Structure 1
Amino acid sequence: MARALRQRADMWRGHISAAIAAAIRKGRVAWLVAGLVTALLPVTARAWDPPPQTQASKQQIHKLVETWGQYFQKADSLRDRRQAFEELMESTPEPTRIQIRSVDAGGIDAQLIWPARLHHPLGRRAILYVHGGGFYSGSLRTHRAIAGALAKAASADVLLIDYRLAPDNPYPAQIDDTLAAYRWLLDSGYEADNIVLVGESAGANLAIEATLRQMRVKEPLPAAVVAMSPISDLAATGASLTANAGTDPVINAAQLDLIRKAYLGTRSPTDPMVSPLYADLTGFPPLLIQVGEGEALLDDSRRLADKARAAGVDVEIEIWPGMIHEWQIFPFWLDDARQSNQRVAEYAIRHFADKPQP
């Protein structure tokens, strides 16, 4: 135990020394002082628990489940489900008080989204948003609302990417596109310590795997990663797939099997390069995981958090009462989605080297 504590102290001394050197080199002494004060606060002072589920929240999630069922009741194949998801999201409100510019992000179609109160994008802070949809669905339209919400709440530019989809484009096209977009941000002038990767469901998987690939080639890592309702285990070994099968209409074991075949083909689902749960997370950036208590993939998040913590990663996990898979992408219908989006924005701000001005 004493040896482990000494090793951990040595590790933190190394981190702090590196941070001091980088801050002095970049003239960020004020940022350094603020960051060290925050880091030295007791863990309990930064603890946060999701709010208890209210009756209004229960009614809202019930309505979402009903609406989901109306669009997906006859969608059996992946292509049918892709179309149903597009139609569902087409029925939702477009985000307001944002500006949008279409960009070619390293060969990837994308939209750069920023708050209307700011005059132009390409500022100091960026969130790379990687949408979910089981690797086979999702688009710029389906996730523009959450991207816009994060841009406003974090006072940051959000790069929303339209990566290639399975089954026409199986692994590793989606990770290649995510990494290309991240490197485009770096080439466009954003510094790595001002970029946060955020994704939900399959997008969370891609955000984590793209970061792991950056680690393997020893290239600059993002300031932090946020994984919302992540698919971390394509082998589908989590007990919650069965335990929560009756509470989560969005994903189940049979659908995960279809997803795995379309995305991976014959590749092993326990390959660390496709399932983060089996990867070595040592040295991974700070990680926030959000998951719903009623999700079929609840155990994907719990086990990923345990794996990250054991590897020494600064990881936080939030388990939201009563929420289902991907509830975060519905801020126009769910109070909990708006609150969870705000939490993600606050987490990003906490880890940006350059904080937004009040």
Structure 2
Amino acid sequence: MRNLITDVPGVLVGNAQDMRAATGATVAIFEQGAIASLSTLGGAPGDRMATSLEPEMVGQAIDAVVLSGGSVYGLDAAGGASAVLCQRGQGRTFGGLAIPVAVQAILFDLINGGEKDWMREPVKHKPPYWDLGRDAALVAAHEFALGTAGAGVGATTAGLKGGLGSTSAKTSQGFTVGALVAVNAVGAATIGSGPHFWAGAYEQGDEFGGLGWPAKLPDDALKLRFKGQPLPVTATTIALVATDATLTKAECKRLAIMANDGLSKSLRPVHAPNDGDTVFAAATGKAGRGGDPPILTELGTVAADCLARAVARGVYEATALPFPGAVPDWKTKFGGGRR
């Protein structure tokens, strides 16, 4: 086990980034496709082909999930990823052509200090996201970087650098579950002004510092902290959970709903009016049936725990952007690991 979503058989992940623009994209590829759905609880989502994942829609299998920075510009990333998949012959066949399905969610990182010169007049450069999606798909593998990588490059949280996180776990029935998240939260992943993560109770080993929870919550633990105070700015945490269980589309919908609670376990506040918080859930079907209510209940619970851990890990592994006024990273601010 790598403690990555790629522990789920049939899942590969690639990152690509533009450090000058302080943005990037992450592509999760399902080698033989996957059944998928999603749960969107943020008030201002941005996505591509998300409606097709609702259980009543005709489409079933997807080939990739794309997480990207760039807000509306970032939606180009799925096009680049789709081009790679098409060249490989992956997707549904229509009229002799392979048509891949790459769904996508975006986060807002347009004002993080990077050079977004495609937004200035006259427009001399195209947004980089089609290329980033292509490049991320080309390097998709079992191993990939966390923290300030891929879609996590431009991500921030309230007071700390955000980033790309991933974890995995096994259920009691032997199914593998994994989570992948780009943490660009409007709220905070840590408790009050201290180093402890809200997700500390779910940590495995010392994957995000080994601090656990504080013996006593600090006085400022419940003080509301969010980006852009006194008024919150646009922010989004976007994620994918995956399992090797065999699930229907409706069962994936339930898995996504349950997994979305992982954001509530790890961030405060979450699902705000200006958030686009979205969680995809995918089943590769490499293992047995997982739709029986007790089994699906455990899958959803483990997925939520994995997602909570992945959020903390994404913040823990991040490094600050090299721009004036950039928010600090966790390791620099709090000095590393177990105390």
Q: TM over 0.5, yes or no?
A: no
- Radius of gyration: which is bigger? 1
More strand by share: 2
Pick the TM interval, shorter chain: under 0.3
TM-score by length of 2: 0.25
